[in-house]
Amino acid sequence: MSDAIPLDLDFATGDRARSVTTERRPVRIALILIAVAFLTLFLLLPLFAVFLEAVRAGFGSYWSAISEPDAIAAMKLTLMVAAIAVPANLIFGLAASWAIAKFEFPGKSVLNTLIDLPFSVSPVISGLVYVLLFGLQGYFGPYLQSHGIQIIFAVPGIVLATIFVTFPFVARELVPLMQEQGTQDEEAALSLGASGLKTFFLVTLPNVKWALLYGVILCNARAMGEFGAVSVVSGHIRGKTNTMPLQVEILYNEYNFAAAFAVASLLALLALVTLVIKVALEWRFTDQIAASRRH
């Protein structure tokens, strides 16, 4: 450390006009252009193409494509699945990261690793696991069947598969932040006589609310967009168990390209809306976010 200071001073006095970056101007411009070109080519252009293809056959056919009963059923199902999976993972993620960051208990590292499991296995396998468990040839299938309970090839299976693949999103956002924040605030609250629950709602939760929001947004985006796992457990019953991503594939395979892109554009729009909400909230509450990060 003592070596670094004179070096820094030497650098600063030696060339005052130079900024913190040492690359020359043409290099910097080239780097920026490459980044912009990359973003345009791989992010903006495909997104633009989706919307262009969607409206190419005219707004009339766009409207009829997205107001078709099967498309509406797919939208309702997608929103419903997200509405169940996201709160479930919000509660689980919060509880798990609270336990991991604030407490010491045996098996903590196992829990921490288990949370990442859905990230490391392919979504197709996530789906097949539920077929293996609840399918007619699976462990619980015959029992469920004889009691008239349908899990896979029905809405419960789709919800389960979605919860599984979106499991880590909230916890992964919260655990590092909570660990970094430590337990001093909670200890202070407890020593001043606050109850455990009160400490949680008045101290812990406010400290992590922005990370929590970010995790929920990511979780929601994935819950609405999940294809692989849901495709395995869906059964593809039209107007009943097709989510929007599945509906897009079906329409595409039926030569119905305009309708496929219309539904795809709607799905993209849902994702964009969540991003816009996030940006708007960040903009509105800049000070609070900065304050919560200082901890």
Partner 1 sequence: MTRFRSTLAAGAALALTAFAASVALADTTLLNVSYDPTRELYRAVNEAFIKDWKSKTGESVVIEQSHGGSGKQARAVVDGLQADVVTLALQGDIDQISKAGLIGADWQKRLGNNAAPYTSTIVFLVRKGNPKGIKDWDDLIKEGVEVITPNPKTSGGARWNYLAAWAFADGKFDHDEANTKNFIQKLFANVPVLDTGARGATTTFAQRGIGDVLLAWENEAFLALDELGADKFEIVVPSLSIKAEPPVAVVDKVVDAKGTRKAAEAYVNFLYTPEAQKLIAHHYYRPSDPKSADPKDLARFVDVKLVTIDDPLFGGWAAAQAKHFAEGGVFDQLYKPKTN
Nearer to partner 1, 211 or 264 (CB): 264
Single out the residue of 10, 42, 170, 206 nearest to residue 95, CA to CA: 170
Query: What's the min distance (Å) between Cβ of 100 and partner 1?
Result: 28
What are the tokens at 2?
A: 């003592």
Dist. CA 115–CA 159, nearest whole Å: 18
Q: How far apart are CA 264 and CA 270, in angstroms?
A: 10
Question: How many other C-beta atoms can be found within 10 angstroms of the C-beta atom of residue 2?
Answer: 5
Nearer to partner 1, 74 or 152 (CB): 152
Least distance in angstroms from the C-beta of 245 to partner 1: 15
Least Å distance, CB 134 to partner 1, is 8
- Nearer of residues 21 and 122 to partner 1, judged by Cβ: 122
Q: How far is the CB of 46 from partner 1 (least distance, A)?
A: 17
> What does residue 89 show for φ and ψ, rounded to 5 degrees?
-75, -25
Q: Which residues contact 49 (CB under 8 A, 6 or more apart)?
A: none
Distance CA 229, CA 130 (A): 9
Residues in the chain: 295
- CB nearer partner 1, residue 135 or residue 245: 135
Q: For residue 157, report the phi and psi dihedrals to the nearest 5 degrees.
A: -65, -40
Q: What is the dihedral of CA 205, 211, 216, 219, to 10 degrees?
A: -140
Contact footprint for partner 1 (CB under 8 A): 131, 134-138, 141, 145, 148, 150, 152-153, 235-240, 250, 253-255
**Of the candidates 223, 233, 270, 283, which has an alpha carbon nearest to the alpha carbon of residue 66?**
270
Please identify, using beta-carbon distances, which residue of 67 and 150 lies nearer to partner 1. 150
* CB 221, min distance to partner 1, A: 24
Q: Which two tokens stand for residue 77?
A: 């199902």
Cβ proximity to partner 1: between 120 and 146 the closer is 146
Nearest-approach distance from CB 124 to partner 1, in angstroms: 13
Dist. CA 95–CA 148, nearest whole Å: 33
> Distance between the two ends of the chain, CA-based, in angstroms?
26
Return the number of the residue (152 or 212) whose C-beta is nearest partner 1: 152
Q: How far apart are CA 247 and CA 73, in angstroms?
A: 10
State the minimum distance, in angstroms, from the CB of residue 143 to partner 1. Answer: 12
Alpha-carbon gap, residue 152 to 131, rounded angstroms: 7
State the minimum distance, in angstroms, from the CB of residue 257 to partner 1: 9
Tokens of 190: 């407890």
CB of 28 or CB of 236, closer to partner 1: 236
